[in-house]
């Protein structure tokens, strides 16, 4: 079998010429898009989260509303179905993660429980994996993020809507008290990610839009030893709009590092994916879809990238390269998007900085900037307005996109019960006889009375649609119309109308910026 879709591990690349050749090859392949695909079927409801095991990405873990964690083996010659199913969650699963050496799979979701599955034991008895599930029940609300330690299998962080980050350490036994392993926030945490190389650094996001880089040595342990909740850098996430008398603080719903830990991708509700250099508090790029991949503008009224209805998860990637040069994210327009990222130094150089007094009069191409306060400078990052390509094949919202670390594959999932495996050719080392993806995008039809009733039932939290036997149907003919109705209500919402931010008048700070932004940045460029 041809292995033309395998780029090999990045550490096998030694010479500058080889690096350049691989980069040029990857750019040519990505420029052609991923026109082939197949459905991976094993779930019975929405698929909310995807993650690959570390290393060459042999294992894919997926989870969602059907309360199962599915494990897929990408070392198969023709992957079709899961190799193993894990049981244990009692409500919708929102996040899955592999531990440092891939020994454990961790999951969390709406039941506030973190489940830990031992891969080494499950491999012995794949038919009964539920026996190998440990549960952590310290949270009191939905678990939104899990961040395994980059080197220690027994250590991980979990983030929850209860406003807490918890440090779990299986090696510590009873040496850590609950207070010493808890970081408390004044609002819901929406995600947490460990730095991929520096073991004491981690990033957090919350429902107020705040994104921070933190140091675990300052965030946990005895209270007398903690400093500034572990914060070493706060990233500028507030938006300023010309003509508006206030700022907006969009919810930062998920975050992710690139593999070297030099860039941070943030998905923001009602706004575009935003890219930061980890060592710079101000954004360096936003990923939009004002232009099509061929360079033509998206006509007025035609749907393009948007994120207003569900929690999205993006990913960095660059198969076979030492760095991640692409970023992908799902969209409410039923597509996945992939953008080519310029060099970080280039994006910083192209970013505009405009003092507050000149903001309204400035004729820059964008009327949106990032600002830490009304009188603070506006930063206008590079607008990556032309995606490298789009990923098609879905009939509803795409929540997660994931670039494989070795194979030329991208995975997408969302409201539908299947995962779509996208490819550059008809066959690859792990999938044969794929077909060309239908590029037609389904239009959201006009609402019916049944759609309105379904929407009201969902708002009230009543029981989902039932089949003739009185059991939950899990039928996409029920789920997709429900999200169509959500799109009718929420699509293209104005973040400035929904998320107004003004400085707290009770703050003692003389700064017009968020009171926490006084935190001194530490120098981390050496990492």
pLDDT at 125: 54
pLDDT range class, residue 123, cuts 50, 70, 90: low
- What pLDDT was estimated at residue 304? 92
Matching residue, tokens 């979701």:
109
Can you say whether residue 112 is alpha, beta or left, with left for phi > 0 and alpha for psi between -120 and 50 degrees? left
3-state SS, residue 259 = coil
In this prediction, residue 134 carries a pLDDT of: 87
pLDDT for res 15? 67
Instruction: Assign 295 a pLDDT band (cuts: 50, 70, 90).
Output: very high
Residue 299 sits at φ, ψ, to 5 deg, of -60, 150
pTM of the predicted protein model: 0.90
In the predicted model, is pLDDT for residue 481 greater than 60?
A: yes
**C-alpha to C-alpha distance for 123 and 254, rounded to whole angstroms:** 31
- Pick the residue with more confidence: 469 or 148? 148
Q: Tell whether 471 is covered by a domain.
A: no
Poorest-pLDDT segment among 116-130, 219-233, 297-311, 500-514: 500-514
Interior CA angle at 118 toward 116 and 122, to 5°? 125
- Domain of 141, in residue numbers: 37-437
CATH number at residue 247: 2.130.10.10
How far is 341 from 416, CA to CA, in rounded Å? Answer: 29
- The verdict on residue 74 lying in a domain is yes
Measured distance CA(50)–CA(413) in Å, rounded: 8
**CB 136, CB 116: distance < 8 Å:** yes
Among residues 488, 517, 521, the alpha carbon closest in space to that of 503 is found at 517
Is the pLDDT assigned to residue 364 strictly greater than 80?
no
Asked if the model's pLDDT at residue 297 lies above 90, the reply is yes
Backbone φ/ψ region at 360: left (φ over 0), alpha (ψ -120 to 50), beta: alpha
Mean pLDDT of the region 441-448: 87
Cα(66)–Cα(44) distance, integer angstroms: 6
Query: Which residue stretches of 220-368 are H helix?
Result: 344-350
Rounded Cα gap, residues 80 and 91, in angstroms: 26
Instruction: Over range 66-87, report the average pLDDT.
Output: 92
pLDDT score recorded for residue 361: 87
Do the domain assignments include residue 128?
yes
pLDDT of residue 526 exceeding 70: no
Query: Is residue 514 a part of any domain in this protein?
Result: no
Picking from 301, 302, 304, the residue whose alpha carbon sits closest to that of residue 290 is: 304
Position 470 scores a pLDDT of 35
Provide the 10 A C-beta neighbour count for residue 177: 10
Q: Is residue 481 part of a domain?
A: no
Phi, psi of 230 (to 5 degrees): 80, 5
Does residue 49 carry a pLDDT above 80? yes
C-alpha neighbours within 13 Å on the C-beta side of residue 135: 13
The residues pairing with 63 across neighbouring beta strands, listed in sequence order, are: 49, 69
Tell me the average pLDDT of the chain: 86
In a domain, 31, yes or no: no
pLDDT of residue 458: 63
For every residue of 451-511, DSSP letters joined together read HHHHHHHHHHT----B-TTSSB---HHHHHHHHHHHHHHHTT--HHHH-EE---TT---SS
Q: What was the pLDDT predicted at 363?
A: 80
pLDDT in tens, 159-203: 999 999 999 998 866 567 888 999 999 999 999 999 999 999 999
What angle (nearest 5°) sits at the alpha carbon of residue 142, between those of residues 138 and 144?
Answer: 100
Q: How many domains does the chain have?
A: 1
Ranking 133-142, 403-412, 470-479 by mean pLDDT, the lowest is 470-479
What does the chain come to in residues? 527
Domain assignment present for residue 427? The answer is: yes
Looking at residue 516, its pLDDT comes to 43
CA dist 253 and 384 (Å) reads 20
- d(CA 509, CA 376) in angstroms, rounded, equals 14
* pLDDT above 80: residue 502: no
Q: Does residue 278 fall inside a structural domain? A: yes
């Amino acid at each position: 079998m041809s292995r033309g879709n395998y780029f090999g591990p990045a550490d096998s690349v030694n010479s500058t010429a080889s690096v350049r050749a691989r980069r040029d090859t990857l750019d040519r392949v990505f420029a052609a898009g991923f026109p082939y695909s197949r459905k991976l079927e094993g779930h019975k409801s929405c698929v909310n989260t995807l993650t690959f095991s570390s290393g060459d990405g042999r294992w894919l873990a997926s989870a969602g509303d059907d309360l199962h964690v599915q494990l897929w083996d990408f070392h198969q010659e023709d992957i079709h179905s899961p190799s193993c199913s894990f049981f244990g969650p009692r409500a919708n699963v929102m996040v899955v993660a592999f531990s440092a050496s891939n020994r454990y799979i961790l999951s969390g979701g709406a039941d506030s429980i973190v489940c830990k599955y031992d891969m080494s034991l499950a491999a012995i008895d794949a038919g009964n994996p539920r026996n190998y599930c440990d549960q952590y029940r310290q949270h009191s609300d939905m678990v939104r993020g899990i961040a395994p330690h980059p080197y220690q299998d027994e250590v991980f962080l979990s983030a929850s809507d209860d406003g807490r980050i918890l440090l779990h350490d299986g090696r510590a036994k009873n040496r850590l008290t609950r207070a010493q392993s808890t970081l408390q926030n004044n609002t819901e945490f929406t995600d947490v990610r460990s730095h991929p190389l520096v073991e004491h650094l981690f990033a957090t996001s919350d429902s107020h839009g705040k994104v921070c880089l933190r140091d675990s040595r300052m965030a946990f342990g005895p209270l007398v030893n903690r400093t500034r909740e572990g914060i070493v850098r706060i990233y500028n996430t507030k938006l300023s709009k010309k003509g508006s008398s206030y700022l907006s603080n969009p919810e930062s719903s998920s975050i992710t590092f690139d593999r070297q830990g030099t860039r941070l991708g943030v998905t923001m509700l009602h706004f575009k994916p935003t890219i930061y250099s980890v060592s710079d508090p101000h954004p360096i790029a936003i990923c939009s879809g004002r232009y099509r991949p061929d360079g033509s503008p998206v006509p007025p009224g035609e749907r393009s990238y948007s994120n207003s209805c569900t929690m999205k998860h993006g990913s960095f990637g660059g198969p076979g390269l030492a760095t991640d040069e692409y970023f992908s994210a799902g969209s409410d327009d039923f597509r996945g998007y992939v953008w080519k990222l310029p060099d970080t130094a280039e994006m910083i150089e192209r970013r505009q900085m405009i003092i507050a007094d000149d903001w309204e009069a400035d004729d820059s191409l964008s009327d949106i900037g990032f600002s830490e306060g009304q009188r603070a400078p506006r930063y206008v990052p590079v607008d990556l307005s032309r995606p490298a390509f789009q990923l098609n094949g879905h009939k509803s919202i795409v929540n997660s996109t994931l670039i494989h670390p070795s194979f030329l594959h991208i995975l997408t999932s969302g409201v539908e019960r299947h995962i779509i495996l996208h490819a550059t050719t008809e066959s690859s080392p792990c999938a044969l006889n794929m077909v060309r993806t239908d590029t037609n995008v389904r239009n959201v039809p006009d609402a019916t009375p049944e759609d309105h009733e379904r929407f009201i039932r969902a708002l009230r939290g009543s029981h989902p649609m039932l089949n003739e036997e009185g059991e939950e149907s899990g039928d996409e003919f029920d789920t997709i119309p429900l999200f169509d109705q959500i799109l009718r209500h929420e699509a293209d919402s104005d973040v400035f109308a929904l998320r107004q931010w003004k400085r707290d008048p009770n703050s003692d700070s003389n700064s017009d910026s968020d009171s926490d932004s006084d935190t001194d940045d530490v120098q981390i460029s050496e990492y």
